[in-house]
Each structure stands twice: as structure tokens, then as C-alpha cells.
Amino acid sequence: MNSKRVISNEKAVACLVLISLFMAVAAGNFYNDFDLTWGDGRAKILENGQLLTLSLDKASGSGFKSKNQYLFGKIDMQLKLVPGNSAGTVTAYYLSSLGSTHDEIDFEFLGNLSGDPYILHTNVFTQGKGDREQQFYLWFDPTKDFHTYSVLWNSQVIIFSVDGTPIREFKNLASKGIAFPKDQPMWLYSSLWNADDWATRGGLVKTDWTQAPFTASYRSFNAQACTWSSGSSSCSSKSNNDSWMTQSLDTTGQQRIKWVQKNYMIYNYCTDTKRFPQGLPPECSLA
């Protein structure tokens, strides 16, 4: 009887451990989801795994990387960017596979002088080839509060969104001979670094190191995604909602993307005829 009791206590403890582990995972915990990969202590996980910060000073920037590799997913993260004079700094937040034929889905935030607008720079690489930049101003100050930056990536489309508003769509046009990222699992990365040779007004405005350290913050990571490990994929479906797998832009989404592109897009490779004198990339006329 005594030994039975001991066993059931052990079971109860194991059960509690499992429940709390599950809750930590469900809440999105930076300790579980990410490794701090560089920056020698400048990247920090705080508040029991609910907050992550990156910092940059003259000696180094910092960065983190997901533990998981993803092959399709809807991935959300809230970011609060470097406040004040952030000129010269770049906060990169992206999905990428490895190697010379890598695929990549990029958000990069280019800092600016106090009061001047950040640029949100986006790009899509397929089979190692990028050159698909689109840049935007934001319709809010991204340094005052956290805002949600999302990538929806399924077999048909990649949609970049900001606070749920789609800003960019990259369709699967493989049937027209245009490569689409669909075979290479990607890690999620973020880093904060100095790029004052090009980032702000094309490199005219330099980083003011008297303002260092510069800090960007992250919270509320959420991935409804297929994770890839040792050659096979497993698709989590919290609340059994797999709608992201087939999601595309609905009519409202199309209207909102038009609104963003009309009012906030400041560069589009698809209209840069000077840059592509031999003709614009093929997806530009098909999209």
C-alpha cells in the first residue's frame, strides 16, 4: 500500500511537470524556442522566457536563432524597435535555409534619426537568388510599442503582414518556371547590427555611438508551423486550426495590400526599369 502511494505521487509530480511544460510551450517561451547565437551576452532572455532583447554597441551586435527548422508555417512575432536615434542600425528578422542555393524570407528594419521614419525592407530569395526588394514606411512609430510582424508561408504563397495587414505577397508561380521556396526547411533568425555604410539614407547618416547600447525587444512568438527534424516534417496544430496551410489573400486582404502599397511602399523592384534594363523579373508581370 505504501509503495503504491509513492508511485502515484511520482505520477502526480510527472503529470504536473508535463502540464507546466506544455503550458510554457503553449505560451511561447523564448527559452524553449530559441538559442542566443552571438553577441557575447548582448542577447538576453528575460521575464521567465516571455521577453527577449538584442543589443548593439560599438564592439558588437547580437542575434538569436530558432531551435526548430520550419517547412511552411504561420509565424508571428511582436517587435519593438530601437528607439530614439537608431540611424545606422539594422534589425533583421528572417527565415532562411543554408547554403549557396538557400531560400530566405526577409524583414529588415532600417533605423533613422529621431522622428524620421524607419524603413521596412523586405526580400524573398529562392535557390540563392534574391534581388526582390520591396520597401515600406510604417503607418505607426515602431519604437513606441510592440507590433506584430508575420510571415504566412504555405505551398501556394508567402504573405508578409504587419499587425494583420498584408503588405506583400509572393505567389507560387512554379508552373510558370519561377522558383518558390518549398523544399528547404528554414530557421528563424534575428539580429541587431551596425550597417551605417548603407542603411540610413543610403549610408549618409552614420551610427551615433554616444547613443549606444541600442536595444530591440521581442515577445509573443507564435508559430503554427510544420517543423522539420531528421528528414521528416510534423505539423503542430494548436486548436486544430490548419487554415494557414491553404490560406491566401481574400478580397479584404487584397484591398489592404493595395492600400499599403499605394500609401506606404517606397521601393518596388518590380517597377525599377533602370535596374533591370534587360526586362523586369518575370514574376513582376505574372503576379
Ligand X SMILES: *[C@@H]1O[C@H](CO)[C@@H](O)[C@H](O)[C@H]1NC(C)=O
Work out whether 117 is an interface residue with ligand X (CB under 6 A): yes
Give 34 or 149: the residue with its C-beta nearer to ligand X: 149
Nearest Cα residue to 110 out of 37, 198, 175: 198
Q: Answer yes or no: are the C-beta atoms of 246 and 154 closer than 8 Å.
A: yes
Q: How far is the CB of 107 from ligand X (least distance, A)?
A: 14
> Which residues are catalytic, by number?
104, 108
Torsional sign, CA 260, 137, 131, 83: negative
Of 126-134, 141-149, 198-206, 207-215, which segment contacts ligand X by CB under 6 A?
Answer: 198-206
Q: Answer yes or no: are the C-beta atoms of 84 and 254 closer than 8 Å.
A: no
Q: Return the exposure string of 166-204: e unless at least 16 CB atoms fall within 10 Å of the residue's CB, then b.
A: bbbbbbbeeeeebbbbeebbbbbbbbbbbbbeebbeeee
Work out whether 245 is an interface residue with ligand X (CB under 6 A): no
Work out whether 150 is an interface residue with ligand X (CB under 6 A): no
Among 241, 248, 271, 285, binds ligand X (CB under 6 A): 241
Determine the Cα–Cα distance for residues 19 and 21; give it in Å rounded to an integer.
5
Q: How far is the CB of 178 from ligand X (least distance, A)?
A: 26
Query: What is the size of the binding site for ligand X (CB under 6 A)?
Result: 11
Work out whether 208 is an interface residue with ligand X (CB under 6 A): no
Q: What residue number has its CB nearest to ligand X?
A: 116
Work out whether 110 is an interface residue with ligand X (CB under 6 A): yes
- Residue 103 sits at the vertex; the CA angle it makes with 133 and 185, to the nearest 5 degrees, is 140
Q: How far is the CB of 109 from ligand X (least distance, A)?
A: 9
HSE, side-chain direction, 13 A CA sphere, residue 197: 1
Give 176 or 201: the residue with its C-beta nearer to ligand X: 201
Q: How far is the CB of 117 from ligand X (least distance, A)?
A: 5
Other Cβ atoms less than 10 A from the Cβ of 240: the count is 5
The residues that touch ligand X, with contacts defined as CB under 6 A, are 110, 112, 116-117, 119, 199-201, 241, 243-244
